[in-house]
Amino acid sequence: MKFRLEVDMDDAASAEESARELGRILRYWGGNLHHYALRPGDGSAVHDSGYREVGRWSIISADGS
């Protein structure tokens, strides 16, 4: 299986702000994954610190389906 994370980065943000926000997202979801069975089909929306949806993570089979 594969873990896929897609996050839309704000083009207007500085590299430092983008890195800080992405780090926060990774820490939050890394600590939250134990709530999921982590089977193909599992996933959730990803939100930034302003609670705006900026992406999604998902578990997919090894063949990408």
Per-residue 3-state assignment (H helix, E strand, C coil) for 45-61: EEECCCCCEEEEEEEEC
How crowded is residue 56: how many other Cβ atoms within 10 Å of its Cβ?
14
The model carries a pTM of 0.78
Give the percent of the chain with pLDDT over 90: 55
For the chain, the domain total comes to: 1
pLDDT for position 65:
64
Distances (CA, A) of 23 to 41, 42, 61: 25, 22, 26
Contact 58, 43 (CB under 8 A): yes
Instruction: Summarize pLDDT for 25-43 with one digit per residue, the tens.
Output: 999 888 888 998 999 999 9
Does 13 map to a domain?
yes
Does 45 map to a domain?
yes
Alpha-helical (H) ranges within the chain are: 15-32
16: containing domain: 2-60
